[in-house]
Amino acid sequence: MSDDIDIDIDSLSSRMDGALAAMRRDFTTLRTGRASASMLDSIHVEAYGARTPLAQVATINVPEPRMVTVNVWDKSMVEAVDKAIRISGLGLNPVMDGTMLRLPIPELNEERRREMAKLLGTYAENAKISARNVRRDGMDQIKKAKNDGMSEDDQKVWQDEIQDITDAAIKKIDAALEVKQAEIMQV
């Protein structure tokens, strides 16, 4: 490989790992029949004229395995928090108790499990698209380096290296998807 032309493989690899990490964060927002505070991470509330993450207007706790509580700090925000949770698509129906919202986590039925598995597939596909975009950026770097004098042999080596890290990232994404789908489909 040419010493004067550098393709930053570490940067490309870390960006692909970032796509996997983002997908895993998305996975944690889906409920699997057990309560988790992170399942509310994707919910934003219309607060004070701006869309604000739920965690910035309330305290989220998990007092028992099938219950999440949301203690809203500002009494005037309770209705907005309730509405945001109801329209979030998580299938949760808050029970209001003053500034506290109780979110009982119902058992997942077969239809809901299939919907969630499909949503997991969408998250995984988005992560794969991100990994492919990183690969495309790397290939663009190689094309630019070719114009700057990179040999065809070096170009082929770099292309193979980028393809290898892309294949590895997609394999990790598929493995994480398989594990999470098995977890959701488990009765």
| Prediction pTM value | 0.68
56 and 94 housed in the same domain? yes
The answer to whether residues 129 and 172 belong to one domain is yes
Band (127; pLDDT cuts 50, 70, 90): very high
What Å distances lie between residue 64 and 69, 81, 99, 173, CA to CA? Answer: 9, 21, 19, 31
Domain ranges, residue 87: 34-104
Flag whether 99 is in a domain.
yes
| Angle, alpha carbons 37-14-128 (nearest 5°) | 70
Domain harbouring 177, CATH code: 1.10.132.20
Give the domain-ending residue among 48, 79, 104: 104
* 171 and 158 both lie in a single domain: yes
Say yes or no to pLDDT of 7 above 90.
no
Residues 94 and 123 occupy one common structural domain? no
Please state, in angstroms and rounded to a whole number, the distance separating the CA atoms of residues 151 and 154.
Answer: 5
End residue of a domain, out of 74, 104, 134: 104
pLDDT digits (tens, 9 = 90+) for 137-148: 999 999 988 888
Both structure tokens of 71: 């203690």
- Return d(Cα 121, Cα 123) in angstroms, integer: 5
CB-based burial, 161-177: b 16+ in 10 Å, e otherwise: bbeebbeebbebbeebb
Place of tokens 């209705």: 79
- Structure confidence at residue 3 (pLDDT): 45
Mark whether 115 and 95 lie in a shared domain: no
- Report the greatest alpha carbon distance in the chain: 70
Quote the pLDDT of residue 2.
42
**Quick check: 4 pLDDT over 60?**
no
120-139: average pLDDT: 93
Bridge partners, 104 (sequence order): 67
Average pLDDT of the chain to the nearest whole number: 86
Residue 179 and residue 114 in one domain: yes
Count of domains observed in the chain: 2
